[in-house]
Amino acid sequence: MGRDIWSEWLLHRRFGGDARRMQMVLDFLRPIRDKVLHNARLAEGETVLDVGCGDGMIGFGALEKIASGTVILSDISQDLLEYVQSLARDIGLLDRCQFVLAPAEDLSVLDAASVDVVALRSVLIYVSAKQQAFREFYQAKINTFEGLEQHHRQSNRLSASSIGCSDQVGDYRSLSRSIGLGLLHLINLTCLPGMM
């Protein structure tokens, strides 16, 4: 059996075998990843949930920034999860990673309040049940809201990038507020065709 369509595209077809194009795309994406992680306000010891982890760009970037933290890499593609698990093993970070097969709109495999930060890039455009996905982001963090002093509520963070028009950004912010998700940093991207 071949690889699923997500891993086939992300790992093999996205660059068309062109090393120059691969470098161009990665050069485009690294600053976006860095902005997502900067907006997430990562702190030592935190657990980051990388939703739709793909090739692990967000998750592995987070591990570089927090020496004592952990990352949960989640995706709908078992092939991509096996790929990032192999990468984590190769670079000696396997003990700081968890791998979860789950769509953004159903993160029930995670314990409530099991993460400090939810981070994602170019995932929401593929999710039809966006409100449910936002509820799941909240549920993964729900206990960080309750019974904590106000200054600790900053730990309730979602940092994301997405492609779309300003109306979509407003919709995402409204969804985030409607379910009580705290600080939302959303980077709206207008990019070259095929870059993501």
Element spanning 15, H or E: none
Q: For residue 159, name the pLDDT band (cuts at 50, 70, 90).
A: low
Topology (CATH) of 5-189: Rossmann fold (3.40.50)
- How far is the C-alpha of 56 from the C-alpha of 77, rounded, in Å? 12
Share of the chain above pLDDT 90, in %: 32
E strands, the chain, where? 47-51, 70-75, 97-101, 117-121, 157-163, 183-189
- Domain spans, the chain: 5-189
Q: Is the pTM of this model over 0.85?
A: no
Query: CA dihedral defined by 16, 22, 25, 27, rounded to 10 degrees?
Result: -170
Residue 156 or residue 27, greater confidence: 27
Residue 137 main-chain phi, psi, to 5 deg: -60, -45
